[in-house]
A and B are shown apart, each in its own frame.
Chain A
Amino acid sequence: MAFLFNAMNAQVDTRSEKEFLEAKSHFNRSYGTDYNLLNGRQYYLLYSSISHPFLYSDQYRSEKLWLKGVSYEGIPINYDIYKQKLILQYMSYSGEAKQLILNEELIDRFILNGKEFRRLSFPESGSGFFQVVSSGDLSFYFSWEKTMFYSPTSNSTPYNYTQPSRKAYLNKSGQLHTIRSRSSFTNAFDKKYRKNINHFIRKEQINFRSSTDESISRLMEYCKELTATQ
């Protein structure tokens, strides 16, 4: 009997929840689309049959995004590093997947493939999207790009995209240093720290062109501790 009663209750709860979700979705829709999110220029993909202009994949992933102080989760976005634009995929009323370019000035930050990107502006580099590897007074960023090249001999489309390449930056006390080598990194620090930092880089075999985010992050933690304690 108790089992029957519980089963009936569960049925009522499931029905209530379904009704609730339908009602909520109805009221949500009645407000129309989100003007903060669906706001941008139509995106045109410069098609290449063997390559794409995106950072990781040409598939749109459900990611997290902050626009004008409002956070959005599960939003299908992709980062075109050839055009340096963040692209939002949305469904048109005909059910067709379409893409628009989100206005970069209104983007606070976004997460893509577990990595955080922010729109930052420096006198040395101008404004753009930077991958944040380490943040704070002492911070480290990557900027990513692809270029397009002409290959008339290939059997595919004549224009293709290169592999992604990255530039590394160290932001120390508000000054942005472009990091091209081990020495350009260590030279950004006071002389008294350079030996220790160099030692750490050698020991960890850090290469600013190819090392993982985790390795760079460990280096930054080391540098932060070093400069804070001495």
Chain B
Amino acid sequence: MKRVATYTFLLTLIFQLQIEKAEAQPVSDSLLLNSPIYREKLHLFTDRSLYASGEIIHFRLHNKSHDLLKENSWSTVLYLELIGNHNIPVAQGKYQLDPKGATGQLLIPDTVSTGAYHLRAYTKWMRNFDASDYFHLPLTVVNPQKINRSEMPKFDSTQAAITNPLTSHEVVSCSLERVSYGNREKVTLQINLEDTASLKKGYCVSVIKKGYLDLDFSYTPHGDIEDQIKTGEVLFYPETRGISLSGRAIRDSDSTPMAYTPVHITLLGPESDYFGTVTDKFGRIQFSIPSVTSPTELLITSSSKSGEVIDLILQDEFSQDFTMPSFTPSNVLNIRQSLVNEMGTYSQVAKPFITSGADVTSTEEKESEYSFYGTPEFRYKTADYIEIPNLEEFIFELVPKVQVEKQNRQKYFSVLDDAGPISEFAPLILLDFVPIPYVEAILSLAPEQIEYIDIINTIYIRGSTNYGGIISIVSKKGDLAGIKLPEGSSILTFNPLNKMEEMKFIDYDHQKFSKRIPDLRTTLHWSAQNKFLSGRQNTIEFFTSDVSGEFIAVIRGMTKKGTIVQGTCEFTVK
């Protein structure tokens, strides 16, 4: 017992030192919330404004924040949501945000109804401010199976012609060899950048059916005109180190915040991992989740010294604050009825021929080859040994580097290195990567429920914690071998950053395609990060599809001062 108490004291001391160091907040919440420097600003371009359900939205996001924030990775995660009627998100994604901004795709689910939607983009830090600070962009989605004319927004004539005062059409322009092309024909787009152009890189290029992109749209966040002093505390920390989990630990009985309380986080599934952290003096949890590549279940649990039940209240992954964007719902549905009908037709005809879209929500599960501790010093596969009634006897008979000891009627594990028991630190005991406090319950497990036991018999360092070795038990079914989870545990789905997929376009010069399979692309080209040289040396090649009509190439970029640079040129496909 004395030994257990010593471990607890040491762990608490280490945790407290760590947290107190972190808690000495150098800059006041008031300054952070009121200084214009800390007001992040984003601007988003998409390939189109009109989509069919099941299609992919391609986007390019510019970070317009103050250079200090932008260049020093204040926020490294971008949140993007497609919001429908009644502020219901129909698609969500998280993306890597860097000084250049972000690029990526968001898949529109097949099941959404035809109607007006908007994309909104924000960072976790921006959630400290009004939701009107988020970037909003109106979009229209057509689902031929789900058109309800009565729900279509009414056209507001006062919003029909929004001019964009920030746009400069002068420095970038484009031209084509011809004004008319046939189906499946190669087009060479010449992009001309004037010598005076200060912006040379970061351009996005979209070649689309004319009318599918609202070129005149401009969004001004309310924050630009708001100058009320904000009071209160910083609730959402900037994600300086990738996606984070935030929340509070409270005592179940009276909701008191639990300071300096250990919190255990386990990634379940193929990328199993364990992280131990601790709450701060206000009972807050701030935890940056290391690299995870696919959506995974996450088990979060806490333990108190006195055995009290602790509830962990986590912040929502995505913002729950909504605002009425400063634009009326897209009028495309009404004023461009023919385009909507056409989009619906293309979508229906193309669907049977679509083999796969860009993989933006892939849930491909790949078993991680190694655990976080790499190759263990010892691995005991229970199937390799004779039948033994329980794990206590298995360990006693076959695992010499682990001892089960007893003090004051309580059993505990001890790991031995070459010199004997490692007494400086308590070992980490994991069952399916979940730290289980019930030693007796583990010892009474039947070995046939267990796949293997890994032993690391040396001091192990993970994050800020030192462990006196690791005993990692993995059950055959991955179900904790029937042992109940500690009270107050919760399981949630953790979605990592969306994968960046390079958009691949059809190349009729090098690939063979059957004439019988229709090519109904309305986005002929999209590239999000182009660098151009001054003069006429910049070319982009693409192929037309089987869709005929008027097309437009749109080149857009944003200067450091936030001015949109835009050039367009048109052609016909017959």
Contacts and interface: CB of A to CB of B under 8 A. Distances in A.
A43 to B, nearest CB: 10
B240 interface: yes
Interface in A28-45: 28-36, 38-42
Interface in B178-230: none
Given A32-B18, A34-B290, A69-B291, A42 B280 contact: no
B291 A24 contact: no
Given A23-B32, A40-B460, A32 B27 contact: no
A106 to B, nearest CB: 6
Given A30-B286, A32-B277, A24 B460 contact: no
B74 interface: yes
Contacts of B14: 93
Contacts of A31: 237, 240-241, 244, 286-288
B327 to A, nearest CB: 33
Contacts of A105: 369-370, 374-375
B370 A19 contact: no
B21 interface: yes
Contacts of A29: 21-22
B413 interface: no
B459 A93 contact: no
Contact of A19 (B31, B240, B277): B31
B542 interface: no
Nearest to B275: A35
Contacts of A25: 26
> Which of A21, A35, A93 has the most CB atoms of chain B within a 10 A radius of its CB?
A35
A22 B27 contact: yes
Contacts of A104: 374
Contacts of A41: 456, 458-461
Contact of B290 (A24, A35, A103): A35
Q: How large is the interface on B (under 10, 10 to 19, 20 to 34, 35 or more residues)?
A: 35 or more
A22 B374 contact: no
A180 B72 CA distance: 49
A172 B151 CA distance: 65
Contact of B68 (A17, A35, A98): A17
Given A32-B287, A42-B459, A26 B22 contact: yes
A27 B235 CA distance: 12
Count class of interface residues, chain A: 35 or more
B370 A34 contact: no
A27 B237 contact: yes
B68 A68 contact: no
Contact of B370 (A33, A38, A106): A106
A26 B26 contact: yes
Interface in B269-297: 275, 277, 280, 286-288, 290-291
B532 interface: no
A38 B462 contact: yes
Given A24-B74, A40-B460, A93-B464, A19 B27 contact: yes
A4 interface: no
A68 B291 contact: yes
A39 B462 contact: yes
A26 B25 contact: yes
B37 A27 contact: no
B41 to A, nearest CB: 16
Contacts of A125: none
Contacts of A27: 237-238, 240
Contacts of A20: 37, 68-69, 72
Nearest to B372: A39
Contacts of A228: none
A25 B24 CA distance: 11
A181 B240 CA distance: 52
A182 to B, nearest CB: 38
Interface in B488-511: none
A100 interface: yes
B316 to A, nearest CB: 19
A46 to B, nearest CB: 13
A16 interface: yes
A35 B26 CA distance: 25
Interface in B401-459: 456, 458-459
B22 A30 contact: yes
A105 B373 CA distance: 9
A70 interface: yes
A92 B37 CA distance: 34
Contacts of B287: 31-32
Interface in B50-77: 68-69, 72, 74
A149 B156 CA distance: 87
A93 B21 contact: yes
Contacts of A100: 461
Nearest to B238: A27
Interface in A88-115: 93, 98, 100, 103-106
Interface in A149-198: none
B497 to A, nearest CB: 12
Contacts of B374: 40, 103-106
B240 A38 contact: no
A28 B462 contact: no
B17 interface: yes
A65 B244 CA distance: 23
A40 B370 CA distance: 13
Given A20-B72, A32-B288, A39-B373, 19 more contacts: A19-B27, A21-B72, A23-B27, A27-B237, A29-B21, A29-B22, A30-B23, A30-B237, A31-B240, A32-B22, A32-B277, A32-B286, A32-B464, A35-B463, A38-B464, A39-B462, A42-B458, A103-B374, A106-B374
Nearest first, the 8 closest Cβ-Cβ pairs linking A and B are A103-B374, A22-B26, A29-B22, A31-B288, A42-B459, A36-B290, A23-B27, A105-B370
5 contacts: A33-B18, A35-B275, A38-B463, A39-B462, A41-B461
